């Protein structure tokens, strides 16, 4: 068994210890166990990467063996999965450390850490999987961990139902994912990533099958990565603890869909009918997410919609065949969004649970370090030059602009508008929270422990650093993903100029609005484009009506109850017929005797 | 068809009529009467058999039947009277204590 399995199973050990004996342990030892195992994994991964390249496939056992389909429980470490593992374990470990203070004093401290470790295990399984089925275990597992953590404070009804919502919406996507696996297994007789990618590039692969499987896998990605129209669960997922939102619903789990598509990008490059769909859905999600984020007042929901929007950016990039920029944006976004979430968490913690940005203000003086971290995260998100966010966002925009299709100009314009909106809402949030205002409460702040500040600062620095030096260029060579686009000459100047001027304009407007307190907000945005309404009014009410009218009255009464009653009637009917034999009437007995006698006589005479 | 055969088949017919009456009638008194009828039919058949076989076995048996029937009737009428006294009815459908 290779070290890869050790790296994978360390968090599982942490989950088991905390899950089984956590309630009997002290809070400190729970925290120690919860943090030790992810850190152990991280160190082992770093060590192995440093001393030797241990890329390759390691097989634990053969899982399924049919005539022409063999599925191993195998892990694969290559450049892509190594990068993702570092994101997962690096950000994951920092968030574990942060959580030790954030969750301090919670009744279910051990449960929290066991869930968090469980999440890391499944996420690593998803990332390191060598075939789609192993990935699917991780895929389902992170969904489970996400559900458990969203509804972590399950005593509040709202939290529990948010968890259920996330689970159900994800389930829709997962069906798509599973169907995609089936189609691939059916058509290629393999679900191994490398073999699928190789088979998809050959000439005799059916284009219909490729498109169909790509479409279904994309539906799965839509569910997990909160794309239109399955994005509704992510904002509600913010009812979970804030570190969870940072880890699962911003940095790692929600990027699983993008990771999966990048893993299968040779397949997707052949799926010429699906790629435009991905691009359009990604762009629309980016735009709608950014629009809704502009009117949210809950700081976590602003960030949640921002995540939806940024994930849309990544999908737009995938859709135009820019796999590396999508991966780069995933990488940078993981850092700066985790920074934003963690510093938002620190703010919420300091303000005794206050999440409304309109009730905050003047925190710059009170929490200077946190302000710096949030500022760095915001600058990255807004795409200010010299930050990592700028590089990845410009890369996406330039690739979209240079894409050869006719619709790519429209997409570029929409994405530019999204960039401006992003700059607007994040700077608005920043101004409201940190600049002096009369709304800020005078209550003394909750002290922020060092263990909470450290990860925030570390992530803030990392989110700047990953964009510096030659890291992006190095990553491009390192990942070596297929390229289909050559960037047009004029894009190098045109796109940054446009996006920067638009963003600067947006930031200026945000400043004016927050200073002058002008509130011009379309209702459609406040209602989040009526998606929840739409689902409530159209889907749920139809479903309810269907349940009430059809299931309850017809199916329940006419079929199920009718079946049960008819069974009863059948039994009663037959037993009544049987009891007729012994009805107590002598005459009836006499008749029976006579009939038997006649039969006997007939038999006696004629046989 | 000679007289003996007529006697035999006639007796058989009366037996059957009596039995059918026993089965179909609801009044206990009628049932008893039909029962008597069928017993009479039996007597006829016995006599016919006696003539047919040229011996007296059948004739003697018919006398025994008479006596038994008379004794049985004496008891049956008494039971009937007691039933009327107790249940105020002679409808046999109300007497279903043997019901399983």
CATH of B3-94, one of 3.10.350.10, 1.10.287.3510, 1.10.10.10, 3.40.1050.10: 1.10.287.3510
> Is some CB atom of chain A closer than 8 A to the CB atom of B31?
yes
Q: Please report which confidence band the pLDDT of residue A246 belongs to, taking 50, 70 and 90 as the band edges.
A: confident
> Is some CB atom of chain A closer than 8 A to the CB atom of B19?
yes
Both tokens of residue B16? 């059957």
C-alpha distance from residue A495 to each of A301, A396, A420, A500, A502 (Å): 29, 10, 13, 8, 11
CB B34 within 8 A of CB B22: yes
So what's the pLDDT on residue A525? 61
Instruction: Tell me the shortest Cα–Cα distance from B2 to chain A, in angstroms.
Output: 24
Residue from A235, A260, A263, A262 nearest A249 by CA: A235
So what's the pLDDT on residue B1? 66
Averaged pLDDT, B26-54: 89
For helices A256-263 and A132-150, what crossing angle results, to 10°? Answer: 170
Ordered by start, the domain boundaries in chain A are 153-360+367-532, 535-606
Q: Please report which confidence band the pLDDT of residue A516 belongs to, taking 50, 70 and 90 as the band edges.
A: low
For residue A2, what is the DSSP state?
-
So what's the pLDDT on residue A519? 58
Instruction: Give the C-alpha separation, A519 to A513, whole Å.
Output: 7
Closest residue of chain B to A594, computed from CA coordinates: B19
CA B45 to chain centroid? 13
> A593, A594, A597: best mutation site toward chain B, by most B Cβ within 10 Å?
A594
Given an 8 Å threshold on Cβ–Cβ distance, is A586 in contact with B100? Answer: no
Averaged pLDDT, A294-308: 86
Q: To the nearest whole percent, how much of chain A has pLDDT over 70?
A: 94
Given an 8 Å threshold on Cβ–Cβ distance, is B100 in contact with A587? Answer: no
Given an 8 Å threshold on Cβ–Cβ distance, is A584 in contact with B24? Answer: no
> Is some CB atom of chain A closer than 8 A to the CB atom of B86?
no
Q: What is the mean pLDDT of chain A?
A: 83
Given an 8 Å threshold on Cβ–Cβ distance, is A586 in contact with B98? Answer: yes
Closest residue of chain B to A591, computed from CA coordinates: B23
Both tokens of residue B34? 């039909």
Q: Please report which confidence band the pLDDT of residue A515 belongs to, taking 50, 70 and 90 as the band edges.
A: low
How many residues are there in chain B?
Answer: 100
Residue A262 CB contacts under 8 Å (≥ 6 apart), including other chains:
A80, A318, A323, A326, A327, A481
Q: Residue A62, SS3? A: strand
Instruction: Give the C-alpha separation, B65 to A228, whole Å.
Output: 101
Residue from A120, A114, A110, A112 nearest A90 by CA: A120
C-alpha distance from residue A400 to each of A232, A314, A357, A497, A503 (Å): 26, 11, 34, 16, 18
Helix (H), strand (E), coil (C) string for A232-272: CHHHHHHHCCHHHHHHHHHHCHHHHHHHHHHHCHHHHHHCC
- Contacting residues of B for A590, CB less than 8 Å apart: 19, 22-23
Instruction: Give the C-alpha separation, A542 to A385, whole Å.
Output: 49
- Contacting residues of B for A587, CB less than 8 Å apart: 22-25, 31, 92
Q: Residue A321, SS3? A: coil
For helices A323-350 and A79-102, what crossing angle results, to 10°? Answer: 0
pTM above 0.90, yes or no: no
> Is some CB atom of chain A closer than 8 A to the CB atom of B18?
no
Comparing CB atoms, the residue among A579, A583, A591 nearest residue B23 is A591
Given an 8 Å threshold on Cβ–Cβ distance, is A585 in contact with B93? Answer: yes
- Contacting residues of A for B92, CB less than 8 Å apart: 585-587
Instruction: Give the C-alpha separation, A279 to B31, whole Å.
Output: 96
Both tokens of residue B53? 């076989």
Q: DSSP string spanning A268-294? A: HHH-TTHHHHHHHHHHHHHHHHHHHHT
How many residues are there in chain A?
Answer: 607
Instruction: Give the C-alpha separation, A167 to A179, whole Å.
Output: 18
> Is some CB atom of chain A closer than 8 A to the CB atom of B90?
no
If residue A74 lies in a helix (H) or strand (E), which one and from where to where? Answer: strand A70-77
Q: What is the mean pLDDT of chain B?
A: 87
So what's the pLDDT on residue A440? 57
- Contacting residues of A for B22, CB less than 8 Å apart: 587, 590
Comparing CB atoms, the residue among A581, A582, A590 nearest residue B23 is A590
What pLDDT, in 10s, does the model give residues A190-199?
Answer: 888 888 888 8
If residue B99 lies in a helix (H) or strand (E), which one and from where to where? Answer: none
Q: Please report which confidence band the pLDDT of residue A126 belongs to, taking 50, 70 and 90 as the band edges.
A: very high
Residue B57 CB contacts under 8 Å (≥ 6 apart), including other chains:
B49, B50
Predicted ipTM beyond 0.85: no
What pLDDT, in 10s, does the model give residues A323-362?
Answer: 888 888 888 888 888 888 888 888 888 877 777 777 777 7
Ordered by start, the domain boundaries in chain B are 3-94
Tally helices (H) and strands (E) across chain B. 3, 0
CB A190 within 8 A of CB A196: yes
Q: DSSP string spanning A487-553? A: --TTHHHHHHHHHHHHHHHHHHHHHHHHHHT-----HHHHTGGGHHHHIIIIIIHHHHHIIIIIIII
Instruction: Give the C-alpha separation, A135 to A275, whole Å.
Output: 22
């Amino acid at each position: 068994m290779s070290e890869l399995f050790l790296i994978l199973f360390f968090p599982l050990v942490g989950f088991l210890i905390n899950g089984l004996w956590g309630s009997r342990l002290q809070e400190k030892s729970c925290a120690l166990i919860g943090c030790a195992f992810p850190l152990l994994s991280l160190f082992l991964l770093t060590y192995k990467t440093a001393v030797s390249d241990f890329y390759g496939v390691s097989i634990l056992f053969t899982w399924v063996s049919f005539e022409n389909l063999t599925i191993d429980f195998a892990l694969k470490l290559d450049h892509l999965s190594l990068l993702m593992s570092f994101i997962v374990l690096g950000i994951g470990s920092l968030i574990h450390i942060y959580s030790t203070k954030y969750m301090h004093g919670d009744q279910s401290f051990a449960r929290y850490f066991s869930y968090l470790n469980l999440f890391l295990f499944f996420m690593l399984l998803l990332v390191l999987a060598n075939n789609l089925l192993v990935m699917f275990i991780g895929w389902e597992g992170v969904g489970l961990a996400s559900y458990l953590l969203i509804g972590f404070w399950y005593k509040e009804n709202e939290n529990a139902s948010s968890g259920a919502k996330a689970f159900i919406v994800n389930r829709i996507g997962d069906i798509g994912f599973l169907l995609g696996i089936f189609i691939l297994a059916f058509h290629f007789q393999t679900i191994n990533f490398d073999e699928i990618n190789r088979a998809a590039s050959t000439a005799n692969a059916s284009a219909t099958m490729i498109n169909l499987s790509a479409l279904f896998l994309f539906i799965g990605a839509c569910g997990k990565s909160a794309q239109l129209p399955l994005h509704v669960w992510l904002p509600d997922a913010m009812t979970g603890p804030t570190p969870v939102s940072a880890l699962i619903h911003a940095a790692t789990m929600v990027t699983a869909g993008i990771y999966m598509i990048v893993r299968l990008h040779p397949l997707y490059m052949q799926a010429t009918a699906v790629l435009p769909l991905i691009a359009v859905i990604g762009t629309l999600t980016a735009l709608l997410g950014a629009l809704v984020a502009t009117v949210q007042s809950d700081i976590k929901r602003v960030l949640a919609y921002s995540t939806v929007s940024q994930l849309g950016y990544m999908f737009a990039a995938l859709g135009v065949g820019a796999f590396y920029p999508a991966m780069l944006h995933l990488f940078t976004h993981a850092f700066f969004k985790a920074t934003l979430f963690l510093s938002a968490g620190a703010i919420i913690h300091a303000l005794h649970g206050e999440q409304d940005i309109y009730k905050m203000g003047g925190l710059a003086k009170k929490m200077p370090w946190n302000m710096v971290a949030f500022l760095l995260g915001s600058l990255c998100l807004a795409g200010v030059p010299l930050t990592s966010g700028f590089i990845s966002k410009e890369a996406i925009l330039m690739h979209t602009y240079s894409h050869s299709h006719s619709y790519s100009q429209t997409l570029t314009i929409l994405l530019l508008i999204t960039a401006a909106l992003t700059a607007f809402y994040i700077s608005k949030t920043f101004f409201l929270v940190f600049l002096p205002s009369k709304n800020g409460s005078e209550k003394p702040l909750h002290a922020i422990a060092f263990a909470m500040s450290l990860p925030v600062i570390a992530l803030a620095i990392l989110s700047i650093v990953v964009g510096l030096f030659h890291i992006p260029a190095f990553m491009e060579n390192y990942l070596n993903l297929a390229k289909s686009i050559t960037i047009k000459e004029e894009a190098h100047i045109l796109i940054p100029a446009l996006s920067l001027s638009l963003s600067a304009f947006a930031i200026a407007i945000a400043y004016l609005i927050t200073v002058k307190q002008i509130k011009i907000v379309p209702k459609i945005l406040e209602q989040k484009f009526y998606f929840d309404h739409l689902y409530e009014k159209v889907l749920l009410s139809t479903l309810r009506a269907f349940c009430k009218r059809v299931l309850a009255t017809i199916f329940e009464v006419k079929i199920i109850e009718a079946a049960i009653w008819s069974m009863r009637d059948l039994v009663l009917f037959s037993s009544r017929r049987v009891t007729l034999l012994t009805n107590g009437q002598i005459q009836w007995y006499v008749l029976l005797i006579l009939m038997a006698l006649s039969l006997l006589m007939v038999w006696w005479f004629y046989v | 068809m000679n007289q003996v055969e007529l006697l035999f088949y006639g007796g058989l017919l009366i037996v059957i009529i009596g039995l059918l009456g026993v089965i179909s009638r609801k009044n206990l008194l009628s049932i008893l009467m039909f029962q008597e009828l069928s017993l009479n039919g039996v007597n006829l058949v016995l006599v016919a058999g006696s003539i047919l076989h040229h011996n007296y076995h059948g004739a003697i048996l018919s006398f025994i039947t008479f006596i038994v029937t008379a004794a049985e009737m004496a008891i049956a009428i008494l039971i009937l009277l007691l039933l009327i006294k107790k249940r105020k009815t002679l409808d046999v459908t109300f007497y279903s204590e043997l019901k399983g």
